[in-house]
Structure 1
């Protein structure tokens, strides 16, 4: 109703008269803008009668609207054309999910800002064929509803090199096949499985991600040039599919993030590297989970068969001796199960090793059977982690090495006896992996200065 300047005598005087110079304003109204395709289904049972047919996207509600879980309110005061419009906007939220339910799989546009909870994550096993001390597997299990473990036999790793030799020999391939088989067994025992494929990882992983609707791919980083180039290919392919790729570090005794220098500033000789890291603390190893998340229900992915030597283009007879019996390496069974058993045997042997002092007070080093721990093949395949090896020896061989450590160096870690000898050997392994990682890119290879393992002055 248009306001008038004269009030009829029979009407009651307005207790709040409006100045005659300005027209009377109608009461402010609150409007709620809703996205009918997403928010309305959540509240439709509560407010169906409030919908206005002429304006399906606008909704007039009482002032008690703050009781709803998520509202976007705006109030506008009507004013004469000569006056500027004033508005007030407010957002009320009591819902921690922040966004309405979505029927499609959530794939973050920016992987670096992805949510901490995922529906499906692919765990790409590489040289980490274990369930213990596996940050990649544990993180995926903790942050996802379902987990798809995958291992790819890349054809590029087999066949002949440019020099005419096998890229992967029959003994190493046999050890790898046994390790993958043991990993599948350990995953099955925890309610999961291992999907095995023969093909290029950048192709296999993209196909599996599409099939199961995966939101992310987790893997441990590697260090060689070819492996780094593979990671770049996969990142590029997954970016096109809006799938997050996240890498972890788990192949060395010391974590790359704990180094007291940037990797590009790493000393190029072992002596300089050892001096910089010898006082660092070794991270605790991660316990293996007793139960893992199941495989995704979407896609009905088949685990697949583990290939044989013939499937990989290798001759099985090459692993046999001339008399047809298994070769000398046949007793080295691959896999995490064998690696942990071998580690326990080696730790017990270290504990039982007698310590004989020399005239100058020095101690004999504890090398285990035949002056070697003989665990290198399992470390190379990732069936055993260096940190787990170090933790086990610290627990079981502490009494055996206490006298040696206290007499030689006060436990500072610089001696080559007992556990300190083991640290010395694992440090060499760390040095070569870090220095390889430092120069693994094409640019770094062109700029690289020669690395040396000399512990003293440069030769």
Structure 2
């Protein structure tokens, strides 16, 4: 039997159930990754769907994945092209019996998978929910409609009733599993981008890839033990260590939520167990929650009225968009965060909440434009967390209170000495 793993947002060898099952069930196994040109096109709003920052991180990630798989005698073929055109050719060439891939449920991913499936009807498909902390088969809901609309209820139910599953790993295949075909990994230039260097002030000076994710855990958990103060520092704005920064590797699946969870458990056994260590798990549960809300509500997460189907007056002002993205609003704190994003592809959690609130609640601009801009720019873009958080901040998501941030007060609380704002804005403003 011959198996093909179609990698998408699960770009890892450790704790990858598609890879694990393909290796157990097949004599011959190969992997494929397609850089889909649609991800690099210009959106209806006039900017690229994926900008250079996440693209660079992705290229670094697939490069490392290819090497890690090669170490297990598994070939990863990497192509620039449409999956529905490329995968059928690979299926035919290597006489594939079964395709393994991670379950996706948002529109664009489903449409591509359906096109691929329709073009090769004789091949078996095996999919796995593999981006959760709490596996969908384990949660205490008979169907997605029963998922609570309030996060706290969801968290308490799952923490009480569910045990996180153990991670899985593969052993190397025989050397005979390696195929002769080699593919060149596309470059930034191939995808329409100029090479670039990150400014030294970036809070995310990290590379993409599974090994890099594990290096980060080693540094943040074990070498510096910063995990022990995570909750106290997580609202920081400057430097690489105010938060774990694991979101980028989680977003493209270079590391699994389960791997992080069990590493926290180990840290709590060997170093310290406190509110700070728990808070990283708390954030993983929030991440899960947005995925479950997306499963429950489907395309409502992309609609103007959100999952609450709440009507507000929204504007679509191009001048406002340019002011916001270029850091030319009346709020220095918003401006500094937006320039950081523009120059580095990163923004803190505290910054994201404030700039989203300003765009949606102060200026009453269409929140979906802000969400699409984040999708373009953020290294750690995750469809469910991004749109879930934007709905939340726009008052059409999982927060019926419809709050608005007092941005001047936020700046006083989190950047009292103006260090962050001075870093990204013209000094004479202060």
Does TM-score exceed 0.5, indicating one fold? yes
Q: Is the 8 A contact 2:52 2:193 kept in 1?
A: yes
User: Gaps (5+ residues) in structure 2?
Assistant: 309-387, 403-430
1:248 aligns with 2:128: yes
1:347 aligns with 2:228: no
Q: Which has the larger radius of gyration?
A: 1
- How far residue 219 of structure 1 moved from its aligned partner, in angstroms, is 0.3
Q: Number of paired residues?
A: 312
1:383 aligns with 2:254: yes
- How far residue 347 of structure 1 moved from its aligned partner, in angstroms, is 1.6
- How far residue 320 of structure 1 moved from its aligned partner, in angstroms, is 3.3
2:181 to 302, 310, 313: 302
Q: Identify if the C-alpha distance between structure 1 residues 255 and 198 changes in structure 2 by more than 3 Å, giving closer, same or farther.
A: same
Equivalent position of 1:6 in the other structure: none
Normalization by structure 2: what TM-score? Answer: 0.65
Which structure is higher in strand share? 1
1:374 to 245, 254, 267: 245
Whole-angstrom distance in 2 between the partners of 1:328 and 1:446: 33
- How far residue 149 of structure 1 moved from its aligned partner, in angstroms, is 0.6
Equivalent position of 2:73 in the other structure: 191
1:332 aligns with 2:332: no
Q: Identify if the C-alpha distance between structure 1 residues 218 and 352 changes in structure 2 by more than 3 Å, giving closer, same or farther.
A: closer
Q: Is the 8 A contact 1:124 1:150 kept in 2?
A: yes
- How far residue 181 of structure 1 moved from its aligned partner, in angstroms, is 0.3
For 1:397, what is the secondary structure of its paired residue?
Answer: helix
Whole-angstrom distance in 2 between the partners of 1:285 and 1:206: 34
- How far residue 430 of structure 1 moved from its aligned partner, in angstroms, is 0.6
Q: Is the 8 A contact 2:294 2:301 kept in 1?
A: no
2:140 to 251, 260, 266: 260
- How far residue 282 of structure 1 moved from its aligned partner, in angstroms, is 3.6
Q: Is the 8 A contact 1:365 1:421 kept in 2?
A: no
- How far residue 442 of structure 1 moved from its aligned partner, in angstroms, is 8.7
2:190 to 285, 293, 311: 311
Equivalent position of 2:322 in the other structure: none
Offset from partner CA, 1:113-167 (integer Å, 9 cap, x none): xxxxxx1010001111110001110100000010011110001111211111111
Q: Is the 8 A contact 1:253 1:386 kept in 2?
A: yes
Q: Is the 8 A contact 1:124 1:149 kept in 2?
A: yes
Offset from partner CA, 1:215-272 (integer Å, 9 cap, x none): 1100011242211222222222222xx1011110111111111111122332233233
Normalization by structure 1: what TM-score? Answer: 0.61
Q: Is the 8 A contact 1:353 1:366 kept in 2?
A: no
Whole-angstrom distance in 2 between the partners of 1:456 and 1:445: 16
Whole-angstrom distance in 1 between the partners of 2:44 and 2:176: 40
Whole-angstrom distance in 2 between the partners of 1:446 and 1:295: 53
RMSD: 3.2
2:160 to 254, 265, 279: 279
1:181 aligns with 2:63: yes
Greater relative contact order: 1 or 2 (C-alpha under 8 angstroms, separation 6 or more)?
A: 2
For 2:79, what is the secondary structure of its paired residue?
Answer: strand
1:439 aligns with 2:258: no
For 1:251, what is the secondary structure of its paired residue?
Answer: coil
User: Gaps (5+ residues) in structure 1?
Assistant: 1-118, 356-362, 405-416
Q: Is the 8 A contact 1:173 1:309 kept in 2?
A: yes
- How far residue 438 of structure 1 moved from its aligned partner, in angstroms, is 2.7
Q: Is the 8 A contact 2:209 2:249 kept in 1?
A: yes
Q: Is the 8 A contact 1:159 1:166 kept in 2?
A: yes
Deviates more, 1:149-158 or 1:190-199: 190-199
Equivalent position of 2:173 in the other structure: 292
Q: Identify if the C-alpha distance between structure 1 residues 447 and 259 changes in structure 2 by more than 3 Å, giving closer, same or farther.
A: farther
2:88 to 191, 206, 224: 206
Which structure is higher in helix share? 2
1:320 aligns with 2:197: yes
